[in-house]
Structure 1
Amino acid sequence: MGGKAARTSAARDQIRAQREAEKKREKRRRMVTIATAAVVAVAAIAAGAWYSALQSRSETAGADTAPVTVQADGSAVMAMPGVEKPVLDIYEDFQCPACKALEETSGNTIKNLAAEGKVKVVFHPITIFGQEPTKSNSVRAGAAARCVPSGQWLAYHDKLFEGQPSETVEGFKVEELVAWGKEVGVTDPGFEKCVTSQQHAKAQQDYSTKVLDSGAVTKGTPTVRLNGTELEDTAFRPADLRQAVLDAAK
C-alpha cells in the first residue's frame, strides 16, 4: 500500500506541476498578445499620424506664378491665360488668424495649381469683424490692397498675412501698409495717397456686405469653395486640396 500511495502522491505532484507550468505558459501568451496588440495599436496610430502629416505637408513654391488681375469689385483672379475652370473661390480677411494659417499651409499649393494651369483662383478679401480694433484693422488692409496694381497684388497679399497684427491691438497702420507696398515693388505714384487717405475703405466695406449677404460665407473666414462647393477642412490639407482640384478638372 505504501508503494501505491507514493505513486499516487507523485502523480498528483506531477499534475500540479503541469498545471502550474500551463498557467505560466498561458500568462506568457496573454502578455505576448497584449504586447502585440499594443504594438499594432501604436503602429496604427503612428501610421495615421504619418498619413495625416503627409496630407498636411506644405508644398514648395514653384518658380513662377500665374498672372493676377485685380477686378473692379476688389477681388483678384489668378489664372493662366485661357483657364476658366475649375474655379477656386477664396474668401479671406487679412486680419483673420485662420486665414493666415490657410496661407501658410496651402498657399503654395494654390499658387502652384494656378501656375500649372489646373485651376482659376479668385481671391475675395473681405471684412468680417464687427468689433474694434479688428474691424478697422481689416478695413485698412483691405482698402490698401485695392490700391495695389495687378502685378504686385499677390506679393502684397502675402505681405499682409505675414505682417498680420494681433486681434487685440491696433495694427495695419497706414505707414506700415505704405512701406510694405514699396517692399514688394509697388511704384505707382498714386499708391501712397490711396493708402493714407483710405480711398477704398467704403468700397471694401460695401463689397464685404455684398459677399456676406450673398450667402457665400456662412461659417466665417476662410471659406474656400471649389466650383461652388465648400471644401472646409480639405483646404488645410495641401495634398487633399490638390487632389480635389485635379478631380474637379477631369
Structure 2
Amino acid sequence: MAVAKKSTNWFVVGVSTAVVVVLVAIGAAVWWANSLATGPGTAPQSAIVNQETGAITFGTGDDEVDTYVDFMCPICGTFETQYGEQLQTAAANDAITLNIHPVSILDRYSQNTKYSTRAASAMYCVAAEAPDAALTFFNSLFANQPEENSVGLSDDELASLADQAGAGAAADCIADGTYKNFVASQTTSHDIKGTPTVEVNGKRLDLNAGEITKLEDVLAKAGAATTGTEGDDSAK
C-alpha cells in the first residue's frame, strides 16, 4: 500500500488558506438540530454502525482513525483525495480501524435544500440497508460533490448514486430522510466546529498546527505492517 508522499501536501495548504472553522456553522447546526424533533432520531441498525459513537466503521486494526465529514465541504473532498484511498486500504487490510462520521454543518450553503443533512442521512441509509456498498457510495458522494452555494444533489440523484453503488434498497430510506434527526444529533454531540475533523486513537488533531503528520505516521505504520517491512532498516 502506498504511504503518504513527501511532495506538496495540498490538503495542508487548503486547510491553511481556507476558512474551514466558522462559528456560524455551529449556530446553524444547533438551530437545525433544535428545529427537528427534540430526540436524537432513529439510530441506524447495522453491523458497521457503532451504536455508541454513531460511526460507520471499517477494519479492526488497533490504531483508530475517526473522520468527521460534511459532504458539501470542499476541504473534506481535498482530504479524501489525499488520504481516502490510503485510509480505506489500511482498513481493508485490518491495519487500522476507520470510523467515518457523516455530519452536517454546511446546510446554509445549499440554497435551503439542507444538502449536508440529506447526504449524511443517505450515507446512513446505505450503511443500514446495504453495508457492503457503503464505502463505494461514500466515495461516489465525493466524486459527485456539488459546489458550495449550489442546491446540491436531489434525493433522487442520491438514490441513483446509491443504486449504482449496489444499494438500491436504500431508496425509500433516502426519500424519507430517515436519519436526518440522527445526523443533527451526531453533529452537536461530537462538538464538531469544522470539517474535516480528524482524530487518531481518540485524540483530535489540530490540522492548522500541522498535526496531520500524526495521521501520516499511522498510515506509514499501516503500510509497513501490510508489506511486512515494519522494523526493517532497509525499508527506511
Q: Same fold (TM over 0.5)?
A: yes
Once residues 131 and 56 of structure 1 are traced to their aligned partners in structure 2, the CA distance between those partners, rounded to angstroms, is: 26
Between Structure 1 and Structure 2, the one with more helix by share is 1
Once residues 182 and 117 of structure 2 are traced to their aligned partners in structure 1, the CA distance between those partners, rounded to angstroms, is: 10
Shift of 1:238: 8.1
Per-residue Cα deviation, 1:65-100 (whole angstroms, up to 9, x for no partner): xxx8133464211114xx3x2111111111111111
Partner of 1:53: 7
Partner of 2:155: 174
Answer yes or no: is 1:195 the counterpart of 2:174: yes
Shift of 1:56: 7.3
- Does structure 1 conserve the Cα–Cα contact (< 8 Å) formed by 2:200 and 2:215? no
Answer yes or no: is 1:161 the counterpart of 2:148: no
- Counterpart pick for 2:117 among 112, 132, 139: 139
Q: Say if 1:101 and 1:127 are closer, same or farther in 2 by CA, change over 3 A.
A: same
Where does 1:207-222 land on structure 2 (aligned, <5 Å)? 207-212=186-191, 217-218=192-193, 220-222=194-196
Answer yes or no: is 1:79 the counterpart of 2:56: no
SS state at 2:158 partner: helix
SS state at 1:104 partner: helix
Once residues 238 and 54 of structure 1 are traced to their aligned partners in structure 2, the CA distance between those partners, rounded to angstroms, is: 16
Partner of 2:83: 106
Partner of 1:120: 97
What number of residue pairs does the alignment pair up?
179
- Does structure 1 conserve the Cα–Cα contact (< 8 Å) formed by 2:107 and 2:117? no
Once residues 108 and 54 of structure 1 are traced to their aligned partners in structure 2, the CA distance between those partners, rounded to angstroms, is: 18
Q: Comparing both chains, which one has the higher relative contact order based on Cα–Cα distances under 8 Å and sequence gaps of 6 or more? A: 2
SS state at 1:159 partner: helix
Q: Say if 1:75 and 1:139 are closer, same or farther in 2 by CA, change over 3 A.
A: same
Q: Say if 1:137 and 1:95 are closer, same or farther in 2 by CA, change over 3 A.
A: same
Per-residue Cα deviation, 1:25-65 (whole angstroms, up to 9, x for no partner): xxxxxxxxxxxxxxxxxxxxxxxxxx7417779xxxxxxxx
Question: Percent identical across equivalent pairs?
Answer: 24
Give the TM-score taking structure 1 as reference length.
0.62
Moved more, 112-121 or 86-95: 112-121
Partner of 2:201: 227
| Code of the aligned partner of 2:59 | A
* Higher Rg of the two aligned structures: 1
Q: Say if 1:130 and 1:139 are closer, same or farther in 2 by CA, change over 3 A.
A: closer
SS state at 2:66 partner: strand
Q: Say if 1:187 and 1:130 are closer, same or farther in 2 by CA, change over 3 A.
A: closer
Once residues 200 and 119 of structure 2 are traced to their aligned partners in structure 1, the CA distance between those partners, rounded to angstroms, is: 26
Give the TM-score taking structure 2 as reference length.
0.66
SS state at 1:53 partner: coil
- Does structure 2 conserve the Cα–Cα contact (< 8 Å) formed by 1:70 and 1:150? no
| Code of the aligned partner of 1:123 | I
Partner of 1:10: none
Once residues 107 and 115 of structure 2 are traced to their aligned partners in structure 1, the CA distance between those partners, rounded to angstroms, is: 11
* C-alpha RMSD of matched pairs (Å): 3.1
Shift of 1:130: 5.3
Shift of 1:174: 0.4
Partner of 1:17: none
Gaps of 5+ in 2: 12-46, 225-229, 232-236
Gaps of 5+ in 1: 1-50, 58-67
SS state at 2:106 partner: coil
Once residues 159 and 198 of structure 1 are traced to their aligned partners in structure 2, the CA distance between those partners, rounded to angstroms, is: 19
- Does structure 2 conserve the Cα–Cα contact (< 8 Å) formed by 1:93 and 1:221? yes
